[in-house]
Amino acid sequence: MTCFSLRAAVEPGVMPRVLELFAKRNLVPDRWHSDVVGTARDELSIDLQVSDLTPETGAYIARCLRQIWGVEAVLTSEKRFA
C-alpha cells in the first residue's frame, strides 16, 4: 500500500484536484483523511492510502501531486503488512 501525505493551502479546489489524479488512473484511495491545521488554520493536511501501486507509479503520482497549485509538500511511504 502506498501512503501519501500532503500539505496544501486551504483552498476549495485542492481536494478535487488531488482526487482527480487518482480518478484519471481508475484508482480509488483506500483511505482519505483531511484536516485544516496550523495555528492560523491556514494549512490543509491530506493523508491517503492506495493499494496495488507499483513503486514507479506511486513516485510518478507524487511528482504530479507536487505540481498541483496550492500543494506545498508531498511525502510518500510504503506500508507493508506482515
**Residue range 12-17: average pLDDT?**
94
Residue 74 φ then ψ, to 5°: -135, 125
pLDDT digits (tens, 9 = 90+) for 30-54: 999 999 998 899 999 999 999 989 9
Task: Report whether 29 contacts 49 (CB < 8 A).
Answer: yes
Task: Report whether 3 contacts 47 (CB < 8 A).
Answer: yes
In the chain, domain spans: 2-78
- Please name the fold of domain 2-78: Alpha-Beta Plaits (3.30.70)
pLDDT digits (tens, 9 = 90+) for 51-71: 989 999 999 999 999 999 999
Closest CA to 5 of 40, 41, 35: 35
